[in-house]
Amino acid sequence: MNTAPTTVSSRSETALFLIAALVAIYAISQFLRNSIGVIATNLAAELDLSATQVGLLSSTFFFAFAAAQIPVGIAIDRYGPKRAMLATAVLAVSGTVLFALAPSAPWLIAARALMGLGCSTFFMAPLVLYARRFPPVRFASLTSLQMGLANIGTLSATAPLAASTALIGWRESFLAVAVITVAVVLVIVWAVPKEPAPTKARESWAETFRGVAAAFRVRSFWTVFFVHLTGYSCFVTVIGLWGGPWLTDVHGADLTTRGNILLLGATAQMGGLLLWGAMDRFWGSYKKPVLIGGLTTVTLLAIAAFTPLGLPAATVWIALFGMFIAFTPILTAHGKSLFPPELTGRGITLMNIGTIGGAFLSQSATGGLMDLADRTESGVYDPEGYRLVFAALAGWLLLSLVFYTRAIDLHPSRHAR
């Protein structure tokens, strides 16, 4: 008679530990993808990198990550999310060590490619685990937790990385991250349950690739995909790449100050991710919060592009930007809702190609814009380059939101009425 409460408690504790382990592995990815922003000035000075090279260095992670998504989706659906995560984790550790030891820009870029390949399962595999093990109505909230709490990695790539770089150097800091990654992977081995036996025969390879093609054809795929392409890319281009140099070159912030301000932006995004996801049932819609968050972000980017800001105003701007760009859990849930269960892995990884591929395109293109504006006589990037970057990001996001207005809205609350 007394076993039921114990069983419920045990299941809750198991679920919490599972979520914690999945959040931890994704936090590693968040740190690595956003780690260039704080140390970009240091890398450029030490290795004599141009703005285009800095943009390529940061964006290579996203290119490799995006290129891996279709194979990752297939691997997750065929072999299970746990096996996929463990297989790619070896590459993540190898890339982090290589980055720490790299003697030149080509080696740094190769290391970033390995990091991107290695982290390519650290978000999608957990989402598939959530989709398989929890009710659909909880998916947006779990996605929000996964994104929001894993932003500890993004936070660590701001002021903590700046402090560590000042104390022990950026190379030693990345070696420490490699050790932490190994520890997290060992926790994943133990914490994530063994994959259940398949209830039906595994798809043939022909059926697998037909499934990829079928995912491309689902209704509203492209209208949702284009916001995946533009939304997150705005955040990583500002916070993860040009935000630090902007604060230094335009506003005179030193390493510690820019790290602290970027920490504020990342913290605001972390709070925003949790808030937007928690309010999912309140909205009763996917499109409404995405359009509100997206259009507010466009407005903020336009302000940065066309309005002179002092350092205090830029600090407030960074915080507001982080809060409103954090609508991505709702967008991710919208994308997942379009696909039948048998296409979940392939479907959400295709959406993630947009998310990560957009970051690659955005960071690469904005590097070119910065070089187009060139440097001032004092050797810093011209403020005009930053204005071009903010304006381009605003236009990029606004265009995708116009297409997004045509998407169908399959929010679970609408079907429950």
Q: pLDDT band for position 200 (50/70/90)?
A: low
- Is residue 30 within 8 A of residue 119, CB to CB? The reply is no
* Percent of the chain residues past pLDDT 90, beyond the cut: 34
Q: Which is the CATH superfamily of the domain at 10-193+201-411?
A: MFS general substrate transporter like domains (1.20.1250.20)
* Model pLDDT, residue 4: 47
Q: Region 341-363: what's the mean pLDDT?
A: 82
Closest CA to 142 of 325, 348, 1: 348
* Model pLDDT, residue 9: 47
* Environment class of 41 (CB within 10 Å of its CB; exposed 0-12, middle 13-18, buried 19+): buried
Q: pLDDT band for position 299 (50/70/90)?
A: very high
Q: In whole angstroms, what is the distance from residue 363 CA to residue 357 CA? A: 10
Q: pLDDT band for position 1 (50/70/90)?
A: very low
DSSP structure class, residue 375: B
Q: In whole angstroms, what is the distance from residue 111 CA to residue 93 CA? A: 10
- Is residue 77 within 8 A of residue 346, CB to CB? The reply is yes
- Is residue 150 within 8 A of residue 27, CB to CB? The reply is yes
* Model pLDDT, residue 5: 45
Q: Region 25-39: what's the mean pLDDT?
A: 88
Q: Region 355-375: what's the mean pLDDT?
A: 83
Q: In whole angstroms, what is the distance from residue 279 CA to residue 293 CA? A: 13
Residue 41 has pLDDT above 80, yes or no: no
Q: Poorest-confidence range of 26-40, 46-60, 284-298?
A: 46-60
Closest CA to 17 of 133, 176, 151: 133
* Model pLDDT, residue 148: 79
Residue 168 has pLDDT above 70, yes or no: yes
pTM for the structure as a whole: 0.71
Residue 388 has pLDDT above 90, yes or no: yes
Q: Region 281-287: what's the mean pLDDT?
A: 81
